[in-house]
Amino acid sequence: MGGISSGGVRYPKDSQSSVEIDFYYRGVRCRERLKMPQTKANLAHCLRMLAAIEHEIALGTFSYAKWFPTSKRARIFGGVAAAAASKTVGDLLDEFLASSQRTCAASTHRDYRSAVEYHLRPAFGAQLARDLTSGEIKAWIGGLVCGNKRTNNILVPLRGALANAHQDGLIDKNPCALIKNLRADQEDPDPFRPDEQAAILAHLPDQARHLIQFAFWSGLRTSELIALEWQDVDFRRGVVLVRRASVRKVEKATKTRAGRREVRILPPAREALEAQKPHTLLLAGKVFFNPRTNLPWETDAQIRKTAWQHALRKAGVRYRYPYQTRHTYASMMLSAGENPMWVAAQMGHADWGMIRKRYGRWLPDANPEAGLLAARMFAAPRSGFGQDFSADEGKAV
């Protein structure tokens, strides 16, 4: 009779005196053999037994040791059950932080720890993980006083901790599984007009002016500007190699492969680099220094507080974050008719989908003279430099 099966119960081919029950528990396929003759009565008995087991699993009352006390899996699942009974949400969060420290960037792990210590642990840390419900999490989210994007970021460690616990069989259900991220509306690009650029540059000290002019005409992120070194600048080929970023004083590689890129040095950007040479070139390190300390910039906040905010106030320009220099670059390139694919590559996007989505209103017909059209159109009003550029040679005339 070996090999006969019926609904999760079968007669093993290699044994004439046992019946095998096959079922899933905590995502694991379990096969347990019972020593008994292979008869129709025993088959019916095992089918009733399997139905009872699956019913208890569904109710969450199944005990492996009760049904199969001599099985190795009884010891394994017994240990899991004991651990699950005592695990708090705080324990799960600690395990998540320990794991993420080995796999995440330092700045990301710092954000996770901040979310855990200031938000998640005070709210749920002492609660048993098995008792946490989706309703409790939703009610807590409703009481947070922060933006949707920040709320979503705070939830990341909780989502990760509970997903790991569910995968390990410590909890039967993941209460975060059905909780969707809140819609976080992205801030629209708000570029600076040419006259605003000129006013800002006119009210910046020389080294800060070089930084901001280069930012307007390279499209680099603030973190990439801070990390830029002279060894990354190839004047002969007319490109800057972007290969690292500095976030909260920690340098790391660019986030994506597309982020590692060559950016063409347009004439206004070259002018800013040439003006910066006497200050930092011989130091063979970072390109841009803080004029107050004569040391490399460390954070974007330092740029805002030391130079940017003061310049905008003095210039009478409506305040926007320095990151808008990147949006300004994109809008100038596209308004002048530059190829969107070229602009996407210069800005470190994998394709031009982001360009189309974020900068669609600046998209006229493309033009093959990449970069120089924008330089000719927007460079003239700049203050403090006063050179015009030839589209043929890309050099000051």
Q: What is the pLDDT of residue 114?
A: 93
Assign 380 a pLDDT band (cuts: 50, 70, 90): low
pLDDT, tens digit (0-9, with 9 covering 90-100), for 229-279: 999 999 999 999 999 988 877 777 776 676 789 999 999 999 999 999 999
Outline which parts of the chain fall under CATH 1.10.443.10.
194-378
pLDDT, tens digit (0-9, with 9 covering 90-100), for 39-49: 888 889 999 99
Q: Which residue has better confidence, 323 or 6?
A: 323
Outline which parts of the chain fall under CATH 1.10.150.
89-167
Distance CA 325, CA 303 (A): 13
Assign 396 a pLDDT band (cuts: 50, 70, 90): very low
Q: What's the whole-number mean pLDDT along residues 16-40?
A: 88
* Ramachandran class of 95: left when φ > 0, alpha when ψ lies in -120 to 50, beta otherwise: alpha
Q: Are 215 and 322 in contact (CB under 8 A)?
A: yes
Q: Look at 149-163, 250-264, 278-292, 337-351 and tell me which has the smallest mean pLDDT.
A: 250-264
Distance CA 381, CA 387 (A): 10
**Does residue 8 surpass a pLDDT of 60?**
yes
Q: What is the pLDDT of residue 216?
A: 97
Q: What's the whole-number mean pLDDT along residues 97-106?
A: 86
- What CATH code would you report for 194-378? 1.10.443.10
Greatest mean pLDDT among 213-217, 349-353, 362-366, 384-388 lies in 213-217
Share of the chain above pLDDT 70, in %: 88
Greatest mean pLDDT among 78-92, 122-136, 381-395 lies in 122-136
Q: What is the pLDDT of residue 218?
A: 97
Average pLDDT, the chain: 85
Architecture of domain 89-167: Orthogonal Bundle (1.10)
Q: Which residue has better confidence, 194 or 372?
A: 194
Neighbours of 201 (CB within 10 A): 21
pLDDT, tens digit (0-9, with 9 covering 90-100), for 176-215: 998 999 987 677 889 999 999 999 999 999 999 999 999 9
Q: What is the pLDDT of residue 395?
A: 42
Q: What is the pLDDT of residue 217?
A: 97
Q: What is the pLDDT of residue 394?
A: 41
Greatest mean pLDDT among 168-172, 265-269, 289-293 lies in 265-269
Q: What is the pLDDT of residue 212?
A: 97
Q: What is the pLDDT of residue 365?
A: 46
Instruction: Tell me the two tokens of residue 55.
Output: 């019913």
Distance CA 383, CA 84 (A): 67
Q: Are 265 and 273 in contact (CB under 8 A)?
A: yes
pLDDT, tens digit (0-9, with 9 covering 90-100), for 57-85: 888 888 888 888 888 887 777 655 555 56
Distance CA 264, CA 70 (A): 71
Q: Of all helices (H) and strands (E), which one includes residue 186? A: none
Instruction: Tell me the two tokens of residue 276.
Output: 């910066």
Q: Which residue has better confidence, 91 or 72?
A: 91
